[in-house]
């Protein structure tokens, strides 16, 4: 069974840092591209960052570029999101999501999601 | 443009058919995928590619695409289909992007 479990969320003051983790199990983690997606309270889904299976290719949303860093440890089956210089507008539930492998479909397929971890940025 | 545009809210009578649309330039080159999200739950993939359903998704859910518009159709909507629906794709710079979401009400 594919499982993604996020952790590391909590209450943090503006300007401080937080590191989120996503523990993966039930599949060969090193074969899959991964994403972080967030959802502010009462708002829609916002893509945050992508990392390739090897970690060699990374993309960020403009809203977090320069402040957030995505990484992965394939030996530990884990995905990370280092969040620096946090702002109130970063308050959201953060989900990690597995991107499915498909040679036939031109697009993005986020087939599995964790339950999310809540980050609250407030003084 | 890397934006995907959805109608904020749609309603459908129980048992009827509803179509939820998603517009964006990137959809001329890439398929959209569709996600259902119920309150307090993580999103769930319901349609991807040309018209593919993951295992366990009822066949009343279908997808289509034309030009810059992708559509999710629910044929014979059920009460349990009431949820938020999001489209998702990638843009020309390989960044991922979500639509703003459509809140579906089944009346």
Per-residue pLDDT of chain B (107 residues; tens, 9 = 90+): 469 999 999 999 999 999 999 999 999 999 999 999 999 999 999 999 999 999 999 999 999 999 999 999 999 999 999 999 999 999 989 999 999 999 999 99
Nearest to A44 among B42, B44, B100 (CB): B100
What confidence tier does A101 reach under pLDDT thresholds 50, 70, 90? Answer: confident
For residue B33, the chain A residues in CB contact (below 8 A) are 107-110
Nearest CA in chain A to B32: A107
Would you say residue A58 has pLDDT above 70? yes
The rounded distance, in Å, linking the Cα atoms of A84 and A86 is: 5
A94 in Cβ contact with A48 (< 8 Å): yes
B42 in Cβ contact with A115 (< 8 Å): yes
Would you say residue A103 has pLDDT above 80? no
The rounded distance, in Å, linking the Cα atoms of A93 and A90 is: 9
Nearest to A44 among B54, B95, B101 (CB): B101
B54 touches chain A (CB under 8 A): yes
A40 touches chain B (CB under 8 A): no
The rounded distance, in Å, linking the Cα atoms of A101 and B3 is: 24
How close, in Å, is residue A80 to chain B by CA atoms?
18
């Amino acid at each position: 069974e594919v499982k993604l479990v996020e952790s590391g969320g909590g209450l943090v003051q503006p300007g401080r840092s937080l590191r989120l983790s996503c523990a993966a199990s039930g599949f060969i983690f090193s074969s899959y591209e991964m994403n972080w997606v967030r959802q502010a309270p009462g708002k829609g889904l916002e893509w945050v960052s992508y990392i390739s299976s090897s970690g060699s290719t990374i993309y960020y949303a403009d809203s977090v570029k320069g402040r957030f860093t995505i990484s992965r440890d394939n030996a530990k089956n884990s995905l990370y999101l280092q969040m620096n210089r946090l702002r109130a507008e970063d308050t959201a539930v953060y989900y990690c999501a597995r991107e499915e492998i498909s040679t036939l479909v031109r697009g993005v397929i986020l087939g599995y999601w964790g339950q999310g971890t809540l980050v609250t940025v407030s003084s | 443009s890397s934006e995907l545009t959805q109608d904020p809210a749609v309603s459908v009578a129980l048992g009827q058919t509803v179509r939820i649309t998603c517009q964006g330039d990137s959809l001329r080159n890439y398929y959209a995928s569709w996600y259902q999200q119920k309150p307090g739950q993580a999103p769930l993939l319901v349609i991807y590619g040309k018209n593919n359903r993951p295992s366990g998704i009822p066949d009343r859910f279908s997808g289509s695409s034309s030009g810059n518009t992708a559509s999710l159709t629910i044929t014979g909507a059920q009460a349990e289909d009431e949820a938020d629906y999001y489209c998702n794709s990638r843009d020309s710079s390989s960044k991922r992007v979500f639509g703003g979401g459509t809140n579906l009400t089944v009346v």
